Amino acid sequence: MEVEMRYKNNVGPQVRRRRYALGWSQSEFATKLQIAGFDISRSGVSKIEARLSYVDDKTLLYLAEVLRVPVQELFPPRTPGNRIYDFMEKLETTRF
């Protein structure tokens, strides 16, 4: 029997890809976030990337700022015409 997993955020995979593209370790990224004023550990970064922790609006703004991307780039792309309800249901259970 397959257990449906509900992930706690939808930005983790994009955060991980962007961090990796910048050549930063999770520790380096955590340090950059701390310098920017956001208190987080390497473990905290790991939990965001693995979608195991919630990301609130404040966290989202810090992530986007330090990763140097617009906030919307941290979300997975939405297929045009896809109903928001269907899109959100898929996000909550799909591993990207």
pLDDT in tens, 28-44: 999 999 999 999 999 99
Segment 20-31 shows an average pLDDT of 98
Segment 5-28 shows an average pLDDT of 95
Question: Please, what is the average pLDDT of the chain?
Answer: 92
User: How much is the pLDDT for 77?
Assistant: 84
64 to 14, 41, 71, 87: CA distances (angstroms): 11, 17, 5, 22
Domains of the chain: 12-72+80-91 (1.10.260.40)
**Residue 7: partners with Cβ closer than 8 Å, 6 or more residues away:** 51, 52, 91, 92, 93, 95
Segment 6-18 shows an average pLDDT of 95
